[in-house]
Structure 1
């Protein structure tokens, strides 16, 4: 495939990742958090199967990988639920900007602690800058505790902590292809949610929903999950990890812009300034070897 065409596909993949925040906001008026996780994971693993078969990936896993899959499934379910609740109570654009920029920073800090790495002055500055950006997005300078510690902010902050945990767990599965690992995680997550939280009446209900529901389901599953994830992993092999991860910076911008267009959400100066600060911080942190030991998948 032509490299320039692949660049275009990468841009679309990141835009679809950003769009998922808008999709969740719209879908929250149709179904609850458990139903959304069930439908998203269920449709995603079904649509991923032809992709895995096409690339002829092996579906074999060992006991260690199975345990990691089970752990990752639990964390993914928790992340997906707080992700939904945060968007339901708050705004999609703000959540997309805050969580997607805070995840790499939290991942860096977590890995630095685990590996007992000394943080240089340069990267300390990046963390301070990132912290300033996050605090600015949370509008902490207003000193309004009810706004700072609102439901949506708490949910978003929890999500930004859960995803690095999920990423680190996934990175331990060195004997299994990342897409195959994700495929099994989606299967387990779907089964867990269906067993404990889904009523059979859901299937009849979704058949009566309008095209807006199904359009958003299509985007958040086929485009945002299967297509975007596949392009991301293929991109790592074709372009390299560093070049591909740089495209992730498009996700928060996409979430903000698409939320303004489709949800009529206002983009505040605090959100813009905070997003810029955190993106610069991520760019600086991304040059450190410890940060390159894992792949960030959204």
Structure 2
């Protein structure tokens, strides 16, 4: 598959991720965090079965691949917990902006520190533009928005997902990206089941249609489809370029939150979103 095809798939994945924040907000209305986390990972695992069947590639897992899977599983569960807390006590749109604006910065920082890699001037420009875009979207005249509890949760999520992105890039040498995503979801399901064992897991069947639409969207489209695309693209394009596409999520998350949840949208959001698009261009610009 050509790199340009991965670009289009990543844009689709970012759109699906953007909608995931509104879906998660809907899920926080009636049930506790442990119940939602378990069913999200359980449905995600089930949704992989037809994909694995169509691939017709035998499932394998060597010791090195198992280490990547275990590490990413822990990070994925942690990400879900902190994102749930952030959305429950804050705004879905803010989560999409803060996490996706900070994650590429954290990823580039991790790569630079761990591998001592040098960045091109255009990539530095892209990161700066992307960060400014996030500031404009949230109308930050100071940093107080990062000091309330919900936004601290989102900032932690950005650090966690930077680690997930980096792990996914190097895991492809030891395990197929789709198998990688499947194993992560299965192990996360087991972890979350232990976490939610004493909860009323069957209470989800008392929920209405809106709840189940949000749950299926989050587990299947927002996770199985979008995350698998992200992992495959990370293996092909590298963690730095792949993470740069997350600058697209803020505009998608805010637009969908406006359409679905009625959260306000203003001119500064469109301006900041446009800068995020420009940031993606500069980071992926050939040097």
TM-score normalised according to structure 2 size: 0.83
Structure 2 counterpart SS, 1:140: coil
- Could you say which residue in structure 2 is the equivalent of 1:84? 84
Give aligned pairs, total. 279
Contact kept? 1:98, 1:275, Cα under 8 Å: no
What's the offset of the Cα at 1:51? 0.9
Contact kept? 2:177, 2:228, Cα under 8 Å: no
What's the offset of the Cα at 1:89? 1.5
TM-align CA RMSD? 3.1
- Could you say which residue in structure 2 is the equivalent of 1:150? 148
- Structure 1, residues 187-228: CA drift from partner, whole Å, max 9, x if none? 11111111133325221x111111111111121122222344
- Structure 1, residues 141-193: CA drift from partner, whole Å, max 9, x if none? 1x373x44112221111111111101112222212111101111111111111
**Where in structure 1 are there 5+ consecutive unaligned residues?**
1-5, 290-298
- Could you say which residue in structure 1 is the equivalent of 2:3? none
Separation in structure 2 between the aligned mates of residue 131 and residue 7 of structure 1, nearest angstrom: 21
- Structure 1, residues 79-133: CA drift from partner, whole Å, max 9, x if none? 1111111111221123213322332232222212222123343333333323333
Contact kept? 1:28, 1:84, Cα under 8 Å: yes
- Could you say which residue in structure 1 is the equivalent of 2:201? 202
- Could you say which residue in structure 1 is the equivalent of 2:253? 255
Structure 2 CA distance for partners of 1:276 and 1:157, relative to 1, 3 Å: farther
- Could you say which residue in structure 2 is the equivalent of 1:121? 121
Structure 2 CA distance for partners of 1:98 and 1:52, relative to 1, 3 Å: same
1:112 aligns with 2:112: yes
- Could you say which residue in structure 1 is the equivalent of 2:189? 190
- Could you say which residue in structure 1 is the equivalent of 2:160? 162
TM-score normalised according to structure 1 size: 0.81
- Could you say which residue in structure 2 is the equivalent of 1:58? 58
What's the offset of the Cα at 1:139? 3.8
- Could you say which residue in structure 2 is the equivalent of 1:296? none
